[in-house]
């Protein structure tokens, strides 16, 4: 019942449910499009929510783009595939997207369903305009080459870390910028800004997913750079042990501080977007990333279980992010929350403060700040039971109506 203690978040969740129902009715009726959007919901619920911000044509292209790259990532992540099989597939994947008859079964659960039915994604891809196809092909080719490079290579230095994140996420930023440009709604963004948009999201995910990744079976693949973690422990897996909690948190704070360096570029990229649907699509994940950084910072729970933004806060961010003013306000508030958690005894405290101050200065100098009142803690008050029941009933009724 925790979400019900925040009425503004319950209202946002209800509006999000209504919007999702409206979007579902706009999905093309063909089987391959039904599969694509269903699969998008299954492999990334958060992205499925964010993509709703786009217009139909661009939404279809981005949906296919995401599923193509998710399939490529499934091949990369499957540690049961011998490298002599995996490497050629990664390098040639951009060719396979043109062939609905191509099949390679790998991955697990929903990801295996995606791979076993990849012909549906290829069919949808072939219905896109040529400009969209070429952009997706180019990024898939470059990403596959980069993934192949890192299959047999440990991330040693921070430069390696940045390069890996460029291949798996910075290139996504490139691709999205090219898709936006192909619609005629945006100027082509500078590559370094597009790259930072991807790196900030990817580094946040790598930080948050430490425990899930280190415990992966049959063997883990980790991307925390040795240059950072070796300052605190002898082996990367040592960070998850309780006796190393102090060093683990210091290492975590070092990783978050590294991610914050991309925030200024992200703000610059978003401030240049002209189309509001493109803007919201880009801005919502970036706000969630700075919020996740604030949640993870100085938080030993990253090494004990799942740490993520609560659903109600996510819904509120989606609902309230409409202008660059909302972005500056959210970045300012989440940076301030992170700043309040800085321990002066942390070895990177001064650098963290410097990077947080830079973010806050950029936001404040815009002259567009407004109070949002975002918080990361559990509620200290409860709504009256009658209001809780009414809101629950409204959400259930709307869910039934828009689910049909």
Residues marked active site are found at 164, 208, 221, 281
Q: How far apart are CA 401 and CA 231, in angstroms?
A: 55
Three-state DSSP class for residue 107: coil
Closest residue by Cα to residue 138 from 103, 109, 172, 104: 172
Distances, alpha carbon 155 to alpha carbons 91, 210, 301, 335, in Å: 20, 15, 24, 28
Q: Which residues contact 190 (CB under 8 A, 6 or more apart)?
A: none
Q: Which residues contact 261 (CB under 8 A, 6 or more apart)?
A: 355
Distances, alpha carbon 67 to alpha carbons 154, 167, 169, 175, in Å: 26, 16, 14, 13
Number of C-beta neighbours around residue 213 at 10 A: 17
Contact 21, 401 (CB under 8 A): yes
DSSP state of 189: P
Q: How far apart are CA 129 and CA 151, in angstroms?
A: 33
Q: How far apart are CA 8 and CA 10, in angstroms?
A: 6
Closest residue by Cα to residue 250 from 356, 353, 347, 350: 347
User: DSSP letters of 67-83?
Assistant: HHHHHHHHHHH-TTS-H
Q: Which residues contact 344 (CB under 8 A, 6 or more apart)?
A: none
Q: How far apart are CA 350 and CA 364, in angstroms?
A: 21
Q: How far apart are CA 140 and CA 175, in angstroms?
A: 9
Query: Both tokens of residue 120?
Result: 């549906």
Count of positions (residues) in the chain:
404
């Amino acid at each position: 019942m925790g979400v019900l203690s925040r009425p503004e978040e319950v209202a946002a969740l209800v509006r999000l449910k209504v919007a999702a129902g409206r979007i579902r009715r706009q999905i093309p009726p063909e089987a391959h499009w039904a599969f694509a959007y269903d699969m998008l919901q299954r492999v990334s619920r958060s992205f499925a929510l964010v993509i709703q911000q786009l217009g139909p044509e661009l939404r279809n292209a981005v949906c296919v783009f995401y599923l193509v790259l998710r399939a490529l990532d499934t091949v990369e992540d499957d540690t049961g595939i011998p490298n002599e099989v995996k490497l050629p597939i990664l390098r040639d994947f951009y060719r396979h997207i043109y062939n609905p008859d191509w099949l390679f079964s790998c991955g697990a659960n929903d990801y295996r369903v995606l791979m076993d039915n990849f012909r549906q994604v290829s069919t949808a891809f072939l219905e896109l305009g040529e400009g969209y196809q070429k952009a997706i092909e180019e990024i898939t080719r470059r990403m596959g080459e980069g993934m192949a490079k890192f299959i047999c290579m440990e991330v040693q230095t921070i430069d390696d870390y940045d390069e890996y994140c460029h291949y798996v996420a910075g290139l996504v930023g490139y691709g999205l910028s090219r898709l936006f440009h192909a619609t005629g709604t945006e100027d082509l963004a500078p590559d370094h800004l597009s790259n930072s948009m991807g790196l900030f999201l990817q580094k946040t995910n790598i930080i948050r997913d430490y425990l899930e990744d280190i415990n992966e079976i049959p063997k883990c693949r980790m991307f925390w750079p040795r240059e950072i973690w070796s300052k605190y422990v002898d082996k990367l897996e040592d960070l998850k042990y309780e006796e190393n909690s102090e060093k683990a948190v210091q290492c975590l704070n070092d990783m978050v501080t590294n991610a914050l360096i991309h925030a200024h570029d992200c703000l610059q990229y978003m401030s240049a977007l002209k189309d509001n649907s493109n803007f919201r699509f880009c801005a919502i994940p970036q706000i969630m990333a700075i919020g996740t950084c604030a949640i993870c910072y100085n938080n030993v729970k990253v090494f004990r279980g799942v740490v993520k933004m609560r659903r109600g806060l996510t819904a509120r961010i989606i609902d309230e992010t409409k202008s660059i003013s909302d972005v500056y306000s959210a970045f300012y508030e989440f940076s301030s929350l992170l700043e309040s958690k800085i321990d002066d005894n942390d070895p990177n405290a001064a650098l963290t403060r410097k990077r947080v101050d830079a973010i806050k200065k950029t936001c404040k100098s815009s002259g567009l700040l407004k109070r949002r009142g975002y918080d990361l803690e559990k509620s200290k008050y409860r709504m009256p039971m009658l209001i809780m029941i009414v809101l629950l009933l409204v959400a259930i009724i709307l869910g039934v109506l828009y689910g049909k």
